[in-house]
A = this chain, B = another copy of it.
Amino acid sequence: MIFSKACEYGIKATVFIAQKSLNNERCNLTDISDEIDSPKAFTAKILQKLVKAGIVNSSKGKLGGFGINMKDSKKIKLIDVITAIDGNMIEKTCVLGLKKCSEDHPCPVHNQFKFIKKDLLKMVHKTTLSDMSKSVDIGLSCLKI
A interface, CB within 8 angstroms of B: 1-3, 5, 8, 11-12, 15, 78, 89-90, 93-100, 105-110, 112-113, 115-116, 119-120, 123, 126-127, 131-133, 135-136, 140-145
Are B112 and A127 touching (Cβ within 8 A)? yes
The verdict on A94 contacting B1 (CB below 8 Å), with A119-B115, A119-B119, A127-B109 known, is: yes
Are B95 and A141 touching (Cβ within 8 A)? no
With a cutoff of 8 Å between Cβ atoms, the chain B residues found around residue A135 in the complex are 108
Copies of this chain held together in the complex? 2
With a cutoff of 8 Å between Cβ atoms, the chain B residues found around residue A109 in the complex are 11, 78, 123, 127, 132
Are B93 and A141 touching (Cβ within 8 A)? no
With a cutoff of 8 Å between Cβ atoms, the chain B residues found around residue A12 in the complex are 96, 107
Q: How far is the CA of A139 from the CA of B8 in the complex (A)?
A: 39
Are A1 and B141 touching (Cβ within 8 A)? no
The verdict on A116 contacting B120 (CB below 8 Å), with A94-B1, A96-B11 known, is: yes
